[in-house]
Amino acid sequence: MHSACTENLVLWLGISNKITMIMMMLYSWFVCLEDRDMWKAKEEFQAEQLAELLYETCAKSYQYGSPWSAHQFIEDIQQKHSMYIVLLADSQLIGFISVQTILDEMEVTHCVVSKEHQGQGYAKKLLEKLFQYAEEKAISRIFLEVRQMHQKAQTLYQSMGFEPYYTRKQYYHHPIEDAVLMKREFSKEECYK
């Protein structure tokens, strides 16, 4: 009987070790996927090249096409107070977030994930990266606006700490639609880490 218990224990340890090995392999696979994601700032691109890439991504990803022309992107990229965080995987643009910073506040001008990568958590990753930057720069609040009918985006923003505070009537065109203004406040502890 003692021998049977020992054999069962050895068998269990063998299975346990295999499960551990499989879990370690899966973990390293996920880490490799994470490592494939590459973050870039606007300064790592030529302005015209980046503007065209961003415009094409918006045109394909937004339901009603890009709200900005390639020229508007170029002008914004060249501004000192604008910042673009671009997410690439295997040299392919996954998405980007752009903001304008004035003093200790930021306004999100775009948060876009390419159509084929939507629903995979990349918008959340972009926002998390933005929050890291905001903490480093002691930003006290971040503002954004979103189409009233875009419930998925509003749900994501609320899950990330944004709260609606005002509705701007007939703000969007093509088609005409209200904008929900949202903000996320950072505590003093978050601002001055």
Least confident interval from 3-17, 36-50, 124-138, 141-155: 3-17
Catalytically annotated residue among 55, 84, 122, 157: 157
The single residue of 55, 84, 122, 145 carrying the catalytic annotation is: 145
Q: Global pTM? A: 0.76
Domains and CATH numbers, the chain: 2-191 (3.40.630.30)
Confidence of residue 75 (pLDDT cuts 50, 70, 90): very high
Greatest CA span in the chain, whole angstroms? 81
Closest CA to 83 of 120, 52, 111, 117: 111
Is residue 190 very low, low, confident or very high in pLDDT (cuts 50, 70, 90)?
low
pLDDT the model gives residue 87 = 93
Active site annotation includes 145 = yes
For position 147, what pLDDT does the model report? 93
Q: What is the pLDDT of residue 92?
A: 84
Q: Among this protein's residues, is 105 annotated catalytic? A: no
- Dihedral of CA atoms 145, 155, 61, 176 in degrees, nearest 10, equals -50
Average pLDDT over the chain, rounded to an integer: 82
Q: 42 pLDDT exceeds 70? A: yes
